[in-house]
């Protein structure tokens, strides 16, 4: 569990994988005259304040390696007191719908398999398959998400809400699985449900960030907006959802989270 004093005293790291997931947050930070941009490791890190909270914001790019190096840079170069990863994910559980939000209580790599030397899904020589996230960050995020879904989503343009079926979206908390593969196959989702039935959503970065934060004992949280069903239609829905919905969710939830 994170030390709230440490979290408040040091900058909060905020990471997204793609520009569409954080463009509103970047614009908000850059509007402040004291915001700085530091180029490091092929990425731009935006350091400044968001809603009176010291933050460092960056785009990791896609995948586990990219997100792991980004999290390590956040910790070593910027001395962040915690990391929040925000972005989109494909829904896996049948009750998780497009427009819902999943906060990870734990994350694992669904494509990690060093068997028979080590158990499937377990990180070799670490003895851990599922990495827990920070309970305090999760609780604060859950409040922010709940308020956003109830108060802000109904204000999105009706055409957008209708196009993506955003009808009373819900908050879920549980297991998120990460892997270096964009899942857009109904067969793959059925297999994942069979092999890891607790999985709520699937993405490509969160478990790597959680492992880095575990190694360095830095609190982390991962919040995902469900963009598609990770099925045969995912490649069609995904780009449109990024453009029209993802940025609004990330901006709105993070604003409420930091303002609380």
Query: What positions carry a catalytic annotation?
Result: 21, 228
* Alpha carbon distance 159, 155 (integer Å): 11
Q: Is it true that the peptide bond before 100 is cis, omega within 30 degrees of 0?
A: no
Residue 242 DSSP code: I
Q: Are 175 and 130 in contact (CB under 8 A)?
A: yes
* Alpha carbon distance 13, 32 (integer Å): 17
Instruction: Compute and round to an integer the Cα radius of gyration of the chain.
Output: 17
Residues linked to residue 188 through DSSP beta bridges, in sequence order:
none
Q: Dmax over Cα atoms in the chain, in whole Å?
A: 55
Tally of CB atoms within 10 A around 42: 9
């Amino acid at each position: 569990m994170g030390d709230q004093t440490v979290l408040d005293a040091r900058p909060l790291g905020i990471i997204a994988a793609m520009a569409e997931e954080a463009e509103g947050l970047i614009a908000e930070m850059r509007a402040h005259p004291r915001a700085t941009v530091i180029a490091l490791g092929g990425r731009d890190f935006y350091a400044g304040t968001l809603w009176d909270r010291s933050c460092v914001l960056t785009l990791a790019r896609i995948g586990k390696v990219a997100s792991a190096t980004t999290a390590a840079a956040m910790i070593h170069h910027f001395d962040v007191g915690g990391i929040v990863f925000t972005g989109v994910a494909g829904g896996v559980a049948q009750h998780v719908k497009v427009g819902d939000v999943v906060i990870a209580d734990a994350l694992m790599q669904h494509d990690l398999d060093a068997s028979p030397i080590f158990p499937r899904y377990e990180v070799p020589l670490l003895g851990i398959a599922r990495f827990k996230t920070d309970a305090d960050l999760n609780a604060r995020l859950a409040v922010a998400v709940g308020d956003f879904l109830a108060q802000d989503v109904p204000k999105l343009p009706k055409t957008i809400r209708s196009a993506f079926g955003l009808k009373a979206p819900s908050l879920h908390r549980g297991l998120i699985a990460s892997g270096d593969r964009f899942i857009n196959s109904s067969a793959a989702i059925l297999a994942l449900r069979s092999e890891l039935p607790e999985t709520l959503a699937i993405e490509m970065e969160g478990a790597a960030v959680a492992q880095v934060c575990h190694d360095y004992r830095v609190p982390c949280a991962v919040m995902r907006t469900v963009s598609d069903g990770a099925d045969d239609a995912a490649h069609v829905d995904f780009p449109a959802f990024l453009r029209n919905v993802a940025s609004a969710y990330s901006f709105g939830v993070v604003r409420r989270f930091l303002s609380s």
